[in-house]
Structures are given as structure tokens and as C-alpha cells.
Structure 1
């Protein structure tokens, strides 16, 4: 026979793991410093300007 498992413990463990994964995603999304945000915005602006400068007139 197989091992007996407690379904409530399994469910709670699964929910806890899902919350931990969501928390990790939020830390990556919102846990940046002001300098990191500014650097990323500057890089995005530089890439956009480079792309717009490479467009050809029709």
C-alpha cells in the first residue's frame, strides 16, 4: 500500500508555494532602486532613439 497523506497539508503547502512564487515575482517587478529604474528608462530611450534614427523616409 502507498503512504497516507494529509490532503489539507498538501493543499496548504501548494498554496504556500504559489504565494511564495507570486511574492518573488513582485520583488523582481517592484523591488528596484531609483537608480536602476532611471538606468532602465535611459536605456529604453536610447534604444528607441536609435531605432527611430534608422528609419528611412518613404
Structure 2
């Protein structure tokens, strides 16, 4: 015979795992310090300037 499982507990465990995954994604997106955000923005703008400067004109 198979193992007896409590479906309510399985449902709760699945919801808890989904909530944990969502919170991990939010921590990665919003959990940076102001210095890290500023540095990332400067790097992004530098890369944009470099790309714009490397374009060939007709």
C-alpha cells in the first residue's frame, strides 16, 4: 500500500515553498544598498556610452 498523506498539510507545504521562493526573488531585487544600486547604474550608463560611441555612422 502507498503512504498515507494529509492533503491539507501537502497544500500548506506547497504554499509555503512558493512564498519562500517569491520572497527570495524580492530580496534579490530589492535588498541592495544604495551604494550597490548607484554603482550598478553607473556601470550601466558607462556601457551605454561605450556602445553609442562605438556605432558606425553612414
TM interval, short-chain normalised? over 0.9
Moved over 6 A (4+): none
Across the two proteins, how many residue pairs are aligned to each other? Answer: 58
Alpha carbon RMSD of aligned pairs, Å? 0.4
Structure 2 gaps of 5+ residues are none
TM-score, structure 1 length as denominator? 0.98
TM-score, structure 2 length as denominator? 0.98
- Describe the superposition over 1:13-50 as per-residue Cα deviations: whole angstroms up to 9, x where unpaired: 00000000000000000000000000000000010000
